[in-house]
């Protein structure tokens, strides 16, 4: 219940914190959001009226009621005059691709540890790789791509992804996914986390009884460890999402993390609000998914036949 | 305790303390400025200008390393202390049998744990006035975000002890409350979790500083978020070396490959320190 409530509250909390920051900074909020050098007096007045910049509560309500319909406002600084929604929408595909690629090593690590594909001696290797910080790993990849000139079209015969308004080198995406999936203990965490959950569960008495009955321990333990594994998976996805900022900036991938970074440096509050809300929504969805799956697994366990007669 | 485990713990503790002391000494001797440029020493190798060589302006890389240590030392230690404090509170709450406090901690953990860390860090950086640049606010924010994991592990460790039943049993033996909580619970049973989590957060904050300082170097170059312009981070050393590495001039004249090696060694330092403390704090 607490988890579900946190999931519902999260998309409200993140913009609320940013609104508090805007009002906490010296000067009036309209000037903070759109500095005088960027916006004229007329534009600032229009901003005040459009987003009710009279109080943080009114602003939050106004911004959220528009954000629900994907109206995140207009970027005054990062790409002046461009809709924040358009910026976010352009960034999401790259981030989604990097995330999907990063989920590969983590999924393999989780299943490998659960099903015993990897010998335990390999754990030290995974931990060694995991110690490398993402920034160093990303720099190594950039150096590799630059030295061997793999960043452009046709690297290794893979065509460059080109769409209407964005393009990205497949090697950079691949490197981004690899770095995210391996660095900062992502893969080693997936392997050791899954192993420790199963090791603890296999020590339970019911597993011993299951073995005596000739049943497979994995089949008995899987439903019980599923909520914990889902929780671990959620925190790993969040970890990957956080990591996209570093990876995308260093590798030059124009994704959501890169957008958030540029907006932070530009003090572009509307873009930060839009991007941070996007991250909060993903996190909220994961939290609610974990809460629901926990309930479903609990119901399944209760309804399953206890002992065959 | 097995003799081998005993040796590993002592070696871990010694290595961890030596590295921590080295970091503290580096921070203590950090100069306020990098000094005057000296063209005669530009890109000097470690043999020409011991111990680490010089940058493109002839300024010693040693000063970069010392200033980098000064940037990260206190914020990372404070972040580690915050996480340790949260872990201890969560462990004690589980042992004290305070159900309402446990629920409060769970709400805090769920909310904090659900926030993408880098997003929060960037929001904190955004909120900082540009004329006040310090790693400390970012480090504190990171500590709060890392706290749920540490609290969860400490509460689980305390739960394995038996929670409030463990405290009741010790009380029945006539032990005083401070002895039970400070010695039996924190020192003997939570120590492993608390030290490991704190050491990891110290390492993460140092890595975070390097990452943030490196990111501002990526064109268009921006002012640093975590330190003043007079100071240089370890990321600056890495950046110098990385330019050489991508330029292809690894060992020729004007190469700064020694900066890359120094940067990597400095990055390895907190990782080794955290691992050493992790070994030192291993459970019996």
Percent of chain A residues topping a pLDDT of 70: 90
pLDDT bracket for residue A2 (50, 70, 90): confident
pLDDT, tens digit, 9 for 90 and up, residues A82-134: 788 888 888 888 899 999 999 999 999 999 998 888 888 888 888 888 888 88
Lowest mean pLDDT among A289-303, B30-44, B183-197: A289-303
Pairing of strands A167-168, A161-162: antiparallel
pLDDT at A303: 74
Closest-CA distance, A49 to chain B, in angstroms, reads: 24
Q: What are the residues whose beta carbons fall under 8 Å from the beta carbon of B116, sequence distance 6 or more?
A: A238, A241, A242, A279, A280, A283
Tell me if B42 sits within 8 A of B54, measured CB to CB: yes
Alpha-carbon radius of gyration of chain B: 22
Task: Output DSSP code: residue A135.
Answer: H
Residue-number span of the structural domain to which B252 is assigned = 3-280
Residue A278 lies in a domain: no
In this model, does residue B176 exceed pLDDT 70? yes
Mean pLDDT of chain B: 88
pLDDT at A230: 86
In this model, does residue A165 exceed pLDDT 50? no
- Taking the C-alpha atoms of residue A282 and residue A289, their distance in angstroms, rounded to an integer, is 10
Which tokens hold the place of A4?
Answer: 């579900």
pLDDT, tens digit, 9 for 90 and up, residues A225-265: 888 888 888 888 888 888 899 999 998 888 889 998 888 88
- Taking the C-alpha atoms of residue B84 and residue B82, their distance in angstroms, rounded to an integer, is 5
| Whether A284 and B114 lie within 8 Å, measured CB to CB | yes
Interface mutation vs chain B, best among A136, A203, A246, A250, most B CBs within 10 Å: A136
Lowest mean pLDDT among A72-76, B13-17, B237-241: A72-76
Mean pLDDT of A193-207: 89
Tell me if A243 sits within 8 A of A180, measured CB to CB: yes
Closest-CA distance, B118 to chain A, in angstroms, reads: 5
Beta bridge partners of A74: A83
Residue-number span of the structural domain to which A253 is assigned = 92-263
Tokens 């925190």 locate to A235
Q: Which residues of B124-162 are buried (b: 16+ CB within 10 A; e: fewer)?
A: bbbbbeeeebebbbbbbbbbbbbbbbbbbbbbebbeebe
Among A7, A18, A135, select the one facing B123 at the smallest CB separation: A18
Percent of chain A residues topping a pLDDT of 90: 10
Would you call the peptide bond into A98 cis, given omega within 30 degrees of 0 as the criterion? no
Tokens 């305790």 locate to B1
Residue A56 lies in a domain: no
Chain A residues near residue B110 by CB distance under 8 angstroms: 2-3, 6, 287
Residue A283 lies in a domain: no
Residue A275 lies in a domain: no
Count of domains for chain B: 1
Among A26, A143, A261, select the one facing B246 at the smallest CB separation: A143
Lowest mean pLDDT among A256-265, B113-122, B243-252, B263-272: B243-252
Torsion of CA A137, A139, A142, A146, to 10 degrees: -130
pTM, two decimal places: 0.87
pLDDT at B204: 93
How many residues belong to chain A? 309
Q: What is the CATH number of the domain that holds B180?
A: 1.10.3720.10
Closest-CA distance, A218 to chain B, in angstroms, reads: 24
Looking at per-residue confidence, does A308 or A150 come out higher?
Answer: A150
- Judged by a CB distance cut-off of 8 A, whether residue A251 touches chain B is no
Reported as half-sphere exposure (CB side, CA atoms, 13 A), residue B208 has a value of 32
B76 burial level (CB within 10 Å; 0-12, 13-18, 19+): buried
pLDDT at A307: 57
pLDDT, tens digit, 9 for 90 and up, residues A275-300: 888 888 888 888 888 888 888 888 87
- Taking the C-alpha atoms of residue B280 and residue B284, their distance in angstroms, rounded to an integer, is 10
Chain B residues near residue A257 by CB distance under 8 angstroms: 118
pLDDT bracket for residue B203 (50, 70, 90): very high
Mean pLDDT of B141-157: 89
Mean pLDDT of A143-159: 62
Q: With CA atoms as reference, report the closest residue to A276 among A17, A2, A4.
A: A17
pLDDT at A99: 92
In this model, does residue B64 exceed pLDDT 80? yes
Count of domains for chain A: 1
| Whether A142 and B264 lie within 8 Å, measured CB to CB | no
Residue A259 lies in a domain: yes
pLDDT bracket for residue A308 (50, 70, 90): low
- Taking the C-alpha atoms of residue A187 and residue A199, their distance in angstroms, rounded to an integer, is 18
Closest-CA distance, A174 to chain B, in angstroms, reads: 19
Mean pLDDT of chain A: 83
């Amino acid at each position: 219940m607490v988890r579900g409530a946190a999931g519902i509250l999260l998309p409200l909390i993140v913009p609320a914190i940013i609104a508090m920051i805007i009002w906490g900074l010296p000067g009036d909020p309209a000037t903070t959001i759109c500095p005088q050098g960027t916006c004229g007096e007329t534009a600032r007045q229009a901003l005040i009226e459009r987003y009710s910049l009279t109080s943080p509560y009114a602003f939050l309500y106004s911004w959220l009621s528009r954000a629900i319909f994907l109206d995140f406002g207009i970027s005054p600084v990062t790409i002046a005059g461009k809709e924040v929604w358009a910026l976010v929408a352009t960034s999401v595909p790259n981030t989604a691709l990097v995330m999907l690629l990063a989920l590969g090593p983590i999924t393999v690590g989780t299943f490998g540890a659960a099903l015993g594909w990897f010998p335990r001696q390999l754990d030290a290797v995974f931990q060694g790789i995991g110690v490398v910080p993402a920034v160093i790993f990303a720099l190594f990849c950039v150096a590799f791509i630059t030295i061997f000139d793999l960043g452009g079209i046709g690297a290794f015969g893979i065509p460059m992804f080109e769409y209407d308004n964005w393009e990205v080198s497949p090697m950079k995406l691949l490197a981004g996914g690899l770095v995210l999936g391996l660095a900062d203990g992502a893969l080693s965490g997936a392997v050791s986390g899954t192993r420790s959950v199963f090791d603890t569960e296999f020590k339970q008495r019911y597993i011993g009884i299951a073995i005596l009955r000739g049943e497979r321990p994995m089949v008995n333990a899987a439903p019980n460890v599923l909520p914990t594994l889902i929780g671990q998976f959620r925190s790993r996805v969040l970890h990957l999402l956080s990591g996209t900022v570093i990876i995308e900036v260093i590798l030059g991938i124009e994704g959501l993390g890169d957008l958030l970074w540029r907006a932070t440096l530009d003090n572009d509050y509307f873009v930060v609000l839009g991007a941070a809300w996007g991250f909060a929504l993903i996190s909220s969805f994961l939290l609610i998914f974990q809460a629901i799956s926990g309930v479903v697994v609990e119901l399944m366990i209760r309804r399953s036949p206890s002992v065959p007669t | 305790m097995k003799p081998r485990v005993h040796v590993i713990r002592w070696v871990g503790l010694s290595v961890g303390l030596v590295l921590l002391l080295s970091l503290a000494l580096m921070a203590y001797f950090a100069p306020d400025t990098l000094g005057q440029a000296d063209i005669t020493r530009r890109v000097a190798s470690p043999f020409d200008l011991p111990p680490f060589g010089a940058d493109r302006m002839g300024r010693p890389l040693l000063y970069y390393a010392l200033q980098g240590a000064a940037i990260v030392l206190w914020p990372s230690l404070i972040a580690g202390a915050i996480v340790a404090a949260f872990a201890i509170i969560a462990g004690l709450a589980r042992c004290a049998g305070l159900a309402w406090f446990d629920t409060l901690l769970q709400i805090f953990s769920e909310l904090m744990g659900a926030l993408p860390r880098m997003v929060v860090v960037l929001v904190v950086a955004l909120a900082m006035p540009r004329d006040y640049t310090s790693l400390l606010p970012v480090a504190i924010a990171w500590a709060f975000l890392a706290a749920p994991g540490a609290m969860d592990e400490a509460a689980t460790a305390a739960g394995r002890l038996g929670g409030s039943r463990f405290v009741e049993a010790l009380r029945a033996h006539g032990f005083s409350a401070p002895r039970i909580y400070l010695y039996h619970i924190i020192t003997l049973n939570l120590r492993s979790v608390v030290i490991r989590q704190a050491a990891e957060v110290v390492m993460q904050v140092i890595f975070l500083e390097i990452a943030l300082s490196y990111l501002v170097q990526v064109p268009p170059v921006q002012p640093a978020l975590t330190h003043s312009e007079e100071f240089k981070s370890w990321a600056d050393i890495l950046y110098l070396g990385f330019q050489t590495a991508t330029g292809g001039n690894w060992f020729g004249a004007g190469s700064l490959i020694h900066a890359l090696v120094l940067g990597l060694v400095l990055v390895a330092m907190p990782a080794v320190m955290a691992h050493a403390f992790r070994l030192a704090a291993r459970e019996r």
